[in-house]
C-alpha cells in the first residue's frame, strides 16, 4: 500500500513540475555605437536561471563581417560560465544557411512542428520604444509613420504564431532637427515544461521518419556544438 502512495505522490510532484512555466525574457538596446542584447531563461521557480548577454555587436565591413561578444551567466550562482568573441562573416552565414537547409530536408513537416510548438508560447509583456531623427522635420515625420507601420506589421505576424496575453506598449517618438536613432525594448515569453518535452519528442519522431534524418541532425549538431578548451 505504501508503494501506491509513494507512486501517487511522485506522479503528483512530476505533474506539478511539468506544468510549471519556463519564462524567457528578452531585452535589447541600440543607441549610436552601443548595442546590448540580454536573453534570460528561468524555470522551476528559479532553480534553473541562466542569462545570455551580448554586450558588443560591431559591424566591421562586408569583408570582415560582424563581431559578437557573448557572455553566458548562471544567474542562480552568480557565475560566469562562458565568455566568447566571434566574427560572423559571409562564409559563416552561408554555412549556417546550408546546415539549416539540410536539417529542414531531414525532418518530416518541420514547419508544422514549429507552428504547433509556437502556439503554446504566451507573450506576457512587451515594451518597445524607438526614437528617430533624420535632421529634417518633414522627413522625420514621414519616417516615423513608416516605422509605426513596420512595427505593426512585424508584431501582427509574430502574434499570429504565438499567443498575446498583454497589451503591447509601443512608442515611436520623433527627434526633430537632429540625427538620432535609439531603440530599446523588453519582452517576456512563457511556455510550460510539458510542451517543451513533448515538442522535443515529436521532433525526434519526425526526424526519424526521414531517411538519414537522425544521422544528419547528429552530425550537424555535433559540428555546431562548442568544443571544450
Domain range holding 45? Answer: 21-88
Tell me if 72 is assigned to some domain: yes
Note the helical H segments in 119-182.
Answer: 137-158
Q: Which residues contact 7 (CB under 8 A, 6 or more apart)?
A: none
Query: What does the alpha-carbon distance between residue 138 and residue 228 come to, in Å, rounded to a whole number?
Result: 55
Tell me if 41 is assigned to some domain: yes
Instruction: Please tell me the pTM assigned to this model.
Output: 0.79
Tell me if 30 is assigned to some domain: yes
- Residue 206's region, left for phi above 0, alpha for psi from -120 to 50, else beta, is alpha
Tell me if 137 is assigned to some domain: no
Percentage of the residues of the chain whose pLDDT score is greater than 70: 73
**What's the whole-number mean pLDDT along residues 98-112?**
89
Q: Can you give the three-state secondary structure of 34-80, one letter per residue?
A: EEEEEEEEEEHHHCEEEEEEEEEEEECCCCCCEEEEEEEEECCCCEE
Tell me if 138 is assigned to some domain: no
Query: What does the alpha-carbon distance between residue 7 and residue 10 come to, in Å, rounded to a whole number?
Result: 5
Tell me if 34 is assigned to some domain: yes
In the numeric block, which cell numbers belong to residue 112?
508544422
Beta-carbon neighbour count of residue 66 at 10 Å?
15
Cα angle for residues 151, 68, 117 (degrees, 5° grid)? 50
**What's the whole-number mean pLDDT along residues 111-135?**
90
The neighbouring-strand residues paired with 71 are 53, 83
Q: State the total domains in the chain.
A: 1
Tell me if 224 is assigned to some domain: no
**What's the whole-number mean pLDDT along residues 113-131?**
92
**Confidence tier at 121 by pLDDT (50, 70, 90):** very high
**By three-state DSSP, how is residue 128 classified?**
strand
pLDDT score, position 44: 74
3-state helix, strand, coil in the chain (%, to 5): 40, 40, 20
- Residue 179's region, left for phi above 0, alpha for psi from -120 to 50, else beta, is beta
Pair 109, 206: CB distance under 8 Å: yes
pLDDT score, position 126: 93
pLDDT score, position 135: 79
pLDDT above 50 (res 163): yes
Tell me if 186 is assigned to some domain: no
Amino acid at each position: 500500500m505504501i508503494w501506491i502512495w509513494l507512486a501517487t505522490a511522485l506522479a503528483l510532484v512530476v505533474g506539478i513540475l511539468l506544468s510549471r512555466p519556463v519564462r524567457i525574457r528578452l531585452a535589447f538596446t541600440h543607441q549610436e555605437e552601443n548595442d546590448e542584447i540580454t536573453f534570460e531563461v528561468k524555470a522551476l521557480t528559479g532553480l534553473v536561471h541562466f542569462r545570455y548577454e551580448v554586450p558588443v555587436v560591431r559591424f566591421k565591413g562586408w569583408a570582415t563581417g560582424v563581431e559578437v561578444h557573448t557572455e553566458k551567466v548562471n544567474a542562480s550562482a552568480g557565475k560566469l560560465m562562458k565568455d566568447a568573441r566571434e566574427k560572423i562573416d559571409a562564409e559563416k552565414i552561408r554555412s549556417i544557411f546550408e546546415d539549416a537547409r539540410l536539417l529542414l530536408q531531414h525532418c518530416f513537416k518541420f514547419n508544422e512542428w514549429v507552428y504547433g510548438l509556437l502556439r503554446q508560447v504566451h507573450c506576457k509583456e512587451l515594451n518597445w520604444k524607438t526614437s528617430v531623427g533624420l535632421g529634417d522635420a518633414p522627413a522625420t515625420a514621414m519616417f516615423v509613420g513608416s516605422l509605426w507601420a513596420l512595427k505593426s506589421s512585424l508584431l501582427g505576424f509574430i502574434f499570429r504564431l504565438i499567443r498575446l496575453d498583454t497589451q503591447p506598449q509601443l512608442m515611436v517618438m520623433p527627434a526633430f532637427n537632429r540625427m538620432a536613432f535609439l531603440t530599446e525594448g523588453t519582452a517576456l515569453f512563457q511556455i510550460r515544461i510539458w510542451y517543451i518535452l513533448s515538442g522535443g519528442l515529436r521532433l525526434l519522431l519526425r526526424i526519424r521518419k526521414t531517411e538519414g534524418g537522425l544521422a544528419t541532425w547528429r552530425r550537424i549538431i555535433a559540428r555546431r556544438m562548442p568544443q571544450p578548451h
